[in-house]
């Protein structure tokens, strides 16, 4: 569960040109909300309800994420497990900013480009097309049913993803509320539950008690986002820095450096990645007695590309001098990212004949000495 929850509403997407429910003009002016947005509308007023959402879907195609979307997406990509992005919005602007629906973003009220079969419940994406004019010709690709509805939670309908919000709240240390009136979701209760909270709206809302928030920013999200980012990064760096550390094992050839790294890996086999440039996986498992639960890669590039990279608690690198020059540069460039993820590095390095350190070890040690809150192992 995440340490930071970012809960966004219509105010975040308004700066991208998407009209909010309470705006005058646009589609909301053309339709009676009670007839197209409430539970039962698909029974009592189906044609007009479908038409309304078809038009909203078509409008979405040209909309682009604004600066606030982009900053939040970058933060999520950097701190995957520490940030939960939860939105009341049904647009795809977070996805256009580089996040993945469901995996990176929880949409509480549905998703505009998705539709759902009322016969079998299958949900699928039709892009920005109107229902019936999409690539499926208005038929469910799962069962062939023709009764298709927008995958939107209407007012008065159950919202199953609220349970995901409640789960994330259990571990939340910082709640950031952006662009919501508080009329639909009880942000007061949420703010009272967490240790620290930030509110960003254009103006005060009668439904939100601002004294429950650590501070509030009454300005556009694009103008407030840098202050919000600073608070998020400060919290996460404070939480993570000092938890990572670096241990060097030094010695001449045949002194047992690799065996010490293997012992480290075997102590936490399911949480360790072993990087060996010179030895293959099978040799490490069979001849060197590395626990087969330890994941093995053979380059720094593979280390960073590993889909489980941010889940590891320990990374063993055997040995520093065997890494190619380009890969060594990559390691230096991304060193802070590794340690900010609370990862321990255990690195072996050769000693020269005169027992002097290798130049790479000197360089790496100097970089690490300048890092604040690094645990000295």
Given this model, what pLDDT does residue 100 score? 96
Phi, psi of 107 (to 5 degrees): -95, 110
Same domain, yes or no: 161 and 102: yes
Same domain, yes or no: 264 and 191: no
Cβ pair 122, 141 in contact under 8 A: yes
Same domain, yes or no: 168 and 41: yes
Same domain, yes or no: 250 and 234: no
Among 239, 261, 278, identify where a domain stops: 239
Q: Which residue has the tokens 């029974």?
A: 43
What is d(CA 109, CA 192) in angstroms, rounded to the nearest whole number?
23
What is d(CA 153, CA 79) in angstroms, rounded to the nearest whole number?
29
What is d(CA 123, CA 167) in angstroms, rounded to the nearest whole number?
24
Residue 279, both tokens: 């030895």
Given this model, what pLDDT does residue 249 score? 87
Same domain, yes or no: 172 and 313: no
What is d(CA 18, CA 10) in angstroms, rounded to the nearest whole number?
8
Q: What is the CATH number of the domain that holds 302?
A: 3.40.50.300
Same domain, yes or no: 173 and 228: yes
Same domain, yes or no: 220 and 322: no
Q: What is the CATH number of the domain that holds 60?
A: 3.40.50.1220
Given this model, what pLDDT does residue 342 score? 74
Q: Which residue has the tokens 């840098």?
A: 226
Q: Which residues form the domain of 220?
A: 4-239
Same domain, yes or no: 252 and 230: no
Same domain, yes or no: 26 and 59: yes
- One digit per residue, pLDDT tens: the chain, 377 residues? 789 999 999 999 999 999 876 555 555 677 888 899 999 999 999 999 999 999 999 999 999 999 999 999 999 998 988 999 999 999 999 999 999 999 999 999 999 999 999 999 999 999 999 999 999 999 999 999 999 999 999 999 999 999 999 999 998 999 999 999 999 999 999 999 999 999 999 999 999 999 999 999 999 999 999 999 999 998 887 665 544 678 888 887 777 888 999 999 998 888 899 999 999 999 999 998 999 999 999 999 999 998 888 888 899 999 888 999 999 999 998 887 787 777 888 999 888 766 577 788 888 888 877 765 544 44
> What stretch of H or E contains 313?
none
Cβ pair 83, 104 in contact under 8 A: no
Beta bridge partners of 345: 246, 315
Given this model, what pLDDT does residue 252 score? 75
Decide: helix, strand or coil at residue 197: strand
Given this model, what pLDDT does residue 26 score? 52
Given this model, what pLDDT does residue 156 score? 93
350 catalytic? Reply is no
Among 239, 258, 293, identify where a domain stops: 239
Same domain, yes or no: 59 and 166: yes
Same domain, yes or no: 222 and 256: no
Among residues 109, 151, 346, 350, the one annotated as catalytic is 109
Cβ pair 10, 20 in contact under 8 A: yes
Among 239, 255, 280, identify where a domain stops: 239
Given this model, what pLDDT does residue 376 score? 42
Same domain, yes or no: 128 and 206: yes
Given this model, what pLDDT does residue 354 score? 66
Beta bridge partners of 94: none
Cβ pair 196, 172 in contact under 8 A: no
How many structural domains comprise the chain? 2
Burial bucket for residue 61 (CB in 10 Å: 0-12, 13-18, 19+): exposed
Cβ pair 15, 220 in contact under 8 A: yes
What is d(CA 97, CA 67) in angstroms, rounded to the nearest whole number?
9
Decide: helix, strand or coil at residue 351: strand
DSSP letter assigned to residue 5: E
Burial bucket for residue 370 (CB in 10 Å: 0-12, 13-18, 19+): exposed
Q: What is the pTM of this model?
A: 0.68
């Amino acid at each position: 569960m995440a340490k930071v929850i970012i809960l966004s509403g219509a105010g975040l997407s308004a700066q991208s040109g998407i009209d909010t429910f309470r705006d005058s003009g646009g589609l909301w002016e053309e339709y009676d909300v009670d007839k197209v947005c409430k539970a039962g509308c698909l029974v009592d007023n189906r044609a007009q309800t479908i038409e309304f959402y078809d038009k909203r879907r078509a409008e979405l195609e040209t909309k682009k994420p604004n600066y606030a979307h982009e900053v939040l997406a970058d933060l999520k990509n950097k701190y995957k497990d520490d940030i939960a992005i939860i939105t009341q919005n049904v647009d795809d602007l977070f996805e256009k900013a580089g996040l993945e629906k469901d995996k990176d973003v929880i949409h509480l009220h549905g998703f505009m480009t998705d539709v759902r079969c009322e016969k079998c419940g299958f949900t699928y994406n039709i892009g920005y097309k109107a229902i019936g004019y999409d690539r499926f010709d208005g038929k469910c690709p799962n069962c062939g049913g023709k009764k298709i509805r927008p995958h939107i939670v209407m007012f008065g309908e159950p919202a199953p993803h609220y349970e995901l919000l409640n789960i994330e709240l259990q571990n939340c240390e910082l709640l950031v509320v952006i662009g919501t009136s508080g009329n639909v979701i009880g942000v007061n209760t949420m703010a009272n539950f967490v240790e620290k909270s930030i509110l960003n709206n254009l103006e005060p809302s009668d439904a939100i008690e601002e004294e429950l928030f650590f501070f509030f920013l009454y300005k556009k999200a694009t103008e407030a986002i840098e202050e919000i980012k600073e608070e998020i990064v400060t919290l996460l760096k404070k939480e993570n820095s000092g938890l990572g550390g670096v241990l060097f094992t030094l010695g001449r050839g045949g002194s047992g450096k690799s065996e010490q790294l293997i012992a480290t890996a075997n102590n936490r086999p399911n949480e360790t990645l072993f990087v060996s440039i010179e030895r293959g996986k099978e040799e490490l498992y069979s001849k060197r007695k590395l626990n087969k639960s330890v994941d093995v890669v053979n380059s720094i590039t593979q280390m960073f590309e590993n889909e489980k990279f941010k889940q590891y608690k320990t990374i063993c690198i055997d040995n520093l001098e065997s890494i190619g020059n380009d890969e060594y540069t990559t390691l230096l460039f991304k060193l802070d990212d590794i340690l900010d993820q609370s990862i321990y590095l255990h690195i072996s390095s050769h000693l020269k004949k005169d027992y002097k350190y290798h130049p790479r070890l000197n360089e790496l040690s100097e970089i690490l000495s300048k890092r604040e809150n690094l645990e000295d192992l």
